[in-house]
Chain A
Amino acid sequence: MNHVFNSIKEVPVKDKQTLPEVQPEKTGISRRNFLKTLTGTAAGIGISQVFNPALIQALEKGLTRHPVIWIQGQGCTGCSVSLLNSVDPSIADILLKVISLQFHPTVGTCEGQLAMEHVYAVAKEYEGRFSFAIEGAIPVAENGKYCILGEMDHREITMVDMVQELAPMAGSVLAVGTCAAYGGIPAAKGNVTGATGVMDFFKTKSITTPVVNIPGCPPHPDWIVGSIVHLLESGIPELDYDGRPKLFFGNNIHDNCPRLDDYDEAFMSMSLSDPNGCRMDVGCKGPDTYADCYKRKWNSGLNWCVDNAVCIGCVERGFPDAMSPFYEPAY
């Protein structure tokens, strides 16, 4: 039956598109767009409280692509998929103008031994200068066997091995997502894998590379992109008690919720699909949660958890155990 394909001929190419510039020197990302990313698109808060003039100047000068090695432990790839949803700058601009993504298991071209050799070679070449993005938790039980990343010269490399070997060589570590930051779902009650967040793991191994936690299950793309660019332009952003940039995680969702007036007036949603009222009675964990979702909103600013259902507190160290049951009030 293969004959049915024999009729296929090459079709003339209609819409010739040019290749993107290779290794451009400047980002071409406008300062205005970048500031929009950092401050949230949904509401115009003053930029002065977020940025110092030095950073703005640096942005105007443009960036050079910064080497990033991105690995995945016990996660779902959702953080990476969320990053793809970045609006300002677009993911194409991020990949081709802002960072030089030397390894990424989902989007990188290379595989197998070639990929593993490349990771270790890049870490050596850019020692002290590359950013190491860790997505997913690190399972420490059973000698790390619950997460195998690859093999090189017949040596099996576990998540524990690679983090232990590469993190000390990195200039900075980004713990992307709640799993990497605090353990998240894999570390929830009942787990047998010893799933551990990055900072807790570093403590046990005396690794001192600075870490920026970017929690969220998954994190908003702006939180990831904003943290990376902040790192490049003016170093580690100011962090809160749980290692998160205050820029994005400094404010309480409930205290800033558009439905706070409803709460104050005890005007409560009667069911999950009731469009009106405060969501507390149907389970909202906004009062226990610090993130700027209330103004940034999700997916190009179109919607967010509280307008759709409830906040489940996905950016907090206590997620999911301290935030569940998700559909019962916290009080």
Chain B
Amino acid sequence: MAGCNPQTEPAQAGKKIKIPIDPVTRIEGHLKAEVEVAGGRVVDAHVSGGMYRGFEQILIGRDPRDATQITQRICGVCPTAHATASALALDDAFGVELTDNGRIARNLILGANYLQSHILHFYHLAALDYVNGPDTAPFIPRYAKNDVRLPKELNDVAVGQYLEALEIRKICHEMVALLGGKMPHVQGIVVGGSTEIPTREALDAYAVRFQKVRQFIVEKYVPLVYLLAGPYGDLLKTGVGHKNLVSWGVFPLDNKGNTLLKPGVYTDGKDYAVDPAMIKEYVKYSWFEDSTTGLNPTQGKTLPNPNKPGAYSFIKAPRYNGKPHEGGPLARMWATNPELSKTGREKLGVTKLRDIGDACFSILGRHVARAEETALVATALEEWISQAQPGKETFVPTPIPQSAEGLGLTEAPRGALLHYINIKDQKIANYQVTSATIWNANPRDDMGQRGPIEEALIGVPVPDAANPVNVGRLIRSFDP
């Protein structure tokens, strides 16, 4: 079946051709990309989200506490992040302050799934753009000329790690389940904290698994990402995008707002503190009612109109201070600017993430940021395991307020995540979600600015229209 793409003519200079990729696979959800190619490079791009469920409407009228369960079903890869955002919004609305043990238990649940999500993303979603799997389903069919450049020995090592990573990510989910009840979709994260008070045995069982996972991250995942930079060095210069970043910060270290991964906005080369009032969601090119465009999520309305002329996506276009911004590991690591892993420092000869400079804003740069973040979160998890107190309360029961508002800002593995709740008569009156993929995979806004993935696609080399390998590589570097 290989090579049966209808676009068989070579992309000649001067002549524009349109290449649709629908579906974009190895992502979470339904995405289409349509690129225009001229002279062997992408000159324009449209990215469409093709699925709508309507969580916002479904949540209206429900018991506010149920939001932590319902919203997890937005994403089966990062349900812990939605549970966290939802619980933070509810904590805010209910006016509850967590116990230290409750905060740490939540970090241990969310952190274990961070490791799971990043490992799954790199090996099982993205790596097949760089590595040839065995010649059998589900690894075939694949593009006839897929530009895999690894020597056979290294390819074999990578395939071996692909299989090992299946086990490792499963172990990460066991860690989640030890404190969260089960995974996917945890029972344990609720308004007021976390439901299961850790026992010594549970923490030990968590720690044993964690050691195995960390060893894999340090010895295999991080080195393999840097190894790709050898044969795929050009992908460190490809896929720049707007170079604007948003991070809301994640993993609270206390009850005062300090987090492991820092909040921060980076716009046109300058750093700013986060102000959620600067967020507006535009829908001119999205299948939502035009009357709802330009609203802050706290005023947000989600009214679908799948037949709206000119629109091409079920994703809204959120803008920070009027500009498109990219979310994800790169944004968080840029805001945090931590020291790199030992492997990173040795390979690159620099100390901190920002020392890498412009190369961060690239296909491989995003993978490097993700791998480095995985190592950083792993280091923090070790600390939290030792801080967790067996038998100490993790949950603060609090009555549902008559009416209240709450904002939950956190970070999913794939980017900035916001939940907003408005409670009236002890029921949900309004609920809005601005998720990571909404920040990255959005369409043009009312001002005509491309979304972050659309913009990053500009200039991406597509020398062979029948095998647009780099388009998929770029999109997956965002982990949509």
Contact = CB atoms under 8 A, between A and B. Distances in A.
Interface stretch (B36-44, B181-189, B402-410, B414-422): B181-189
Contacts of A104: 138
A185 B181 contact: no
| Interface bracket on B | 35 or more
B115 interface: no
Nearest to A67: B137
A326 B65 contact: yes
B447 interface: no
B134 A81 contact: no
A92 B63 CA distance: 41
A156 to B, nearest CB: 8
A118 B223 contact: no
A326 B63 contact: yes
Contacts of A20: 134, 159, 163
B173 interface: yes
Contact of A305 (B181, B192, B397): B181
Nearest to A303: B177
A98 to B, nearest CB: 12
Contacts of A72: 30
Contacts, number: 341
Interface string B57-92: 111111101100110011111010000000000000
B2 A188 contact: no
Given A10-B227, A114-B141, A149-B30, A324 B66 contact: yes
A309 B187 CA distance: 6
A165 interface: no
Max chain B Cβ within 10 angstroms of own Cβ: one of A7, A77, A80, A303? A303
B243 to A, nearest CB: 13
Given A4-B357, A76-B76, A147-B51, A121 B1 contact: yes
Nearest to A20: B134
A77 B358 contact: no
Contacts of B62: 324-325
Contact of B76 (A5, A79, A91): A79
Contacts of B231: 10
8 contacts: A5-B348, A16-B157, A76-B79, A77-B77, A108-B26, A113-B21, A195-B53, A302-B178
Interface of A: 1-2, 4-11, 13, 15-20, 22-23, 72-82, 84-85, 87, 90-92, 95-96, 100-118, 121, 139, 142, 145-151, 153-154, 184-186, 188-193, 195, 217-218, 271-273, 275, 298-300, 302-305, 307-310, 312, 314, 320, 324-328
Given A17-B159, A115-B25, 16 more contacts: A2-B236, A16-B156, A74-B51, A85-B170, A92-B163, A149-B30, A149-B50, A185-B73, A190-B60, A273-B195, A273-B394, A299-B174, A303-B180, A304-B181, A308-B196, A327-B63
